Chains A and B, each alone.
Chain A
Amino acid sequence: MAVLLWLLDASLASEESFAAMKESLNNPVYKFVLWGVLAVLAYHTVAGVRHLTMDGGVGETLKGGRLGAKLVVLLAIVLIVLAGVWIW
């Protein structure tokens, strides 16, 4: 959250800080940190959508639960890889 707020702050504060932020995101360490943040966010979001789906009574059986868990991991991996492709 702090990383994302820092990015928003830098991107909106001024034209110079926007450019400086863009420049600093070329740094592989910053890229990796941003990827880490997006990866956590992607997994949490996908798992959260599953949670709300199950709140709605869908996929509540043992079979459905197992399938849902696998789908979450699979979809999260796809999104995390896509995020990596996007950043690099």
Chain B
Amino acid sequence: MVTAVTSFGRSGLYDWLIQRVGAVVLTAYTIFLVVYIALNPDLDFAQWSALFNQLWMRIFSLLALISFITHAWIGLWSVLTDYLTNRLLGAKATVLRVVAQMVLGVAAVTYLVWGVEILWGF
């Protein structure tokens, strides 16, 4: 069963690093947003949209979005190649896994386009 061809970086070491860099970005973004919203309980639309109007916030958000997509792809690739295997399910496992990965790929592109539209569309 060929599995490495659908990994993200086509190398375990690249995937390992991208996974972890993305994890740090996502943690930082999550903590930032939670702290920001917690410190501003009376947050209104003007302040909120002003925050997302700034270039650094858009860069931070886009970085988090890209990190999310790569992090999810690599993580779910690990899960799928661990559990949707020929040994476990027979010959149909590869077809099943590739179909699942196509669905995930469409979801990833959808989130990216949607996220960019949200960030630059208001």
Question: Footprint of B on A, CB under 8 Å?
Answer: 1-2, 5, 8-9, 11-15, 18-19, 41, 45, 48-49, 52, 55, 86
Which of B27, B48, B68, B115 contacts A49 (CB under 8 A)?
B27
Q: How many angstroms from the CA of A84 to the CA of B30 in the assembled complex?
A: 17
In the complex, what residue of chain A is closest to B37 when comparing beta carbons? A86
Q: Which residues of B does A touch, CB under 8 Å? A: 20, 23-24, 26-27, 30, 38, 44-45, 48-49, 52, 68, 72, 111, 114-115, 118, 121-122
- Which residue of the partner chain A has the closest CB to B44? A18
Residues of A within 8 A of B44 (CB): 18
Could you pull out 20 A-B pairs where Cβ atoms are within 8 angstroms? A1-B72, A1-B111, A5-B114, A5-B118, A11-B45, A12-B48, A12-B122, A13-B118, A13-B122, A15-B45, A18-B45, A18-B48, A45-B27, A45-B30, A48-B23, A48-B27, A52-B20, A52-B23, A55-B20, A86-B38
Asked if A12 and B118 make an inter-chain contact with CB atoms under 8 angstroms apart, the answer reads yes
B-side interface mostly: helix
Which residues of A lie under 8 Å from residue B122 when comparing CB positions? 12-14
Are the C-beta atoms of A9 and B30 separated by less than 8 Å? no
- In the complex, the answer to whether B45 meets A5 with C-beta atoms within 8 Å is no
User: B111–A12 contact, CB under 8 A?
Assistant: no
Q: Which chain B positions have C-beta within 8 A of A86?
A: 38
Nearest 8 pairs of A and B residues by beta carbon = A18-B45, A15-B45, A12-B122, A9-B118, A48-B23, A8-B118, A12-B52, A12-B49
From known contacts A9-B118, A55-B20, infer whether A1 and B38 are also in contact, taking CB-CB under 8 Å: no
A41 to B26, CA, bound (A): 10
| Assembly CA distance A52 to B111 (angstroms) | 26
In the complex, which residues of chain B have a beta carbon less than 8 angstroms from the beta carbon of A15? 45
Cβ 8 A contact of B111, one of A5, A19, A41: A5
Using CB atoms, name the residue of chain B closest to A42.
B30
Give the residues in chain B near A5, CB-CB below 8 Å: 111, 114-115, 118
Contacts of A12 on B, CB cut-off 8 Å? 48-49, 52, 118, 122
